[in-house]
Amino acid sequence: MTRTATAMDRVATCVVGMLAVALGVAAILWNLDAIKDFPARIEIPWAEDLVDHSWWPWAVGTGGVLLVLLALRWLIAHVPLRRVKEITVPGSNSHNSITADLGAVAEGASASLEDFDEVSRVRGKALLDRGVRTIDLRVTLRRSVVSGSETLSELISRVTDTGDQVESMVGDPSVATRTHIAVESAKRDEPRTL
């Protein structure tokens, strides 16, 4: 999701939330007769007359179309991050074009981290994150790694080396490497030890 979509989501959520709270408080106060001179029934005569006009169906139809377009815009803004297939490697010219498959680079980086004994799973993908081509690696460690700090520091060193290897393989320092490290969750039937 883009930053603009995230900001619009937060503003819309805030506005809708404040309106819901205000309407809820007003309904409670109205039900308790806490506000003096507040009518028991609200009548809006001009609203009842609207449906009799010939332009009313067109206005409602136009409003519906605008809401559908707004909803489509909102859905498009929430499309997941785009995958990156290939990039042109620096050193290419108009006669010779050399490309690198970032998906294959991500798979290779994943494979190099899977060799580590304490790693239970690695997933790698190439994507475009806020305009930056990124190799995203998600490393899941076995629970035993938590007790061995030396093992964890070795893994972090290997992750750093993998990022450096990705940069040297692609030859483009603008390609970012992002690594998420997590510890696998305990199974429900596994006894807890302290």
Q: How many Å apart are CA 91 and CA 117, to the nearest integer? A: 38
- For residue 136, what pLDDT is reported? 86
Query: What is the average pLDDT across 109-130?
Result: 80
Q: Which residue has the higher pLDDT, 21 or 179?
A: 21
- For residue 22, what pLDDT is reported? 93
Q: Tens digit of pLDDT for each residue in 60-103?
A: 999 999 999 988 887 777 766 566 666 666 666 667 777 777 77
pLDDT band at 186 (very low <50, low <70, confident <90, very high): low
Domains delineated in the chain: 3-78 (no CATH), 102-183 (3.30.70)
Q: Tens digit of pLDDT for each residue in 2-43?
A: 677 778 888 888 898 899 999 999 888 888 888 777 777 777
Query: What is the average pLDDT across 130-139?
Result: 82
- Per the prediction, the chain carries an average pLDDT of 77
Give the strand pairing for 86-88 and 99-101. antiparallel
Q: Which residue has the higher pLDDT, 72 or 130?
A: 72
**In sequence order, what DSSP letters do the residues of the chain get, joined into one string?**
--HHHHHHHHHHHHHHHHHHHHHHHHHHHHHTT-STT--SS---HHHHHHTTSTTHHHHHHHHHHHHHHHHHHHHHHTPPPEE--EEEPTT--SS---EEEHHHHHHHHHHHHHTSTTEEEEEEEEEEETTEEEEEEEEEE-GGGGT-HHHHHHHHHHHHHHHHHHHHHH--TTSEEEEEEEEPPPPTTSPP--
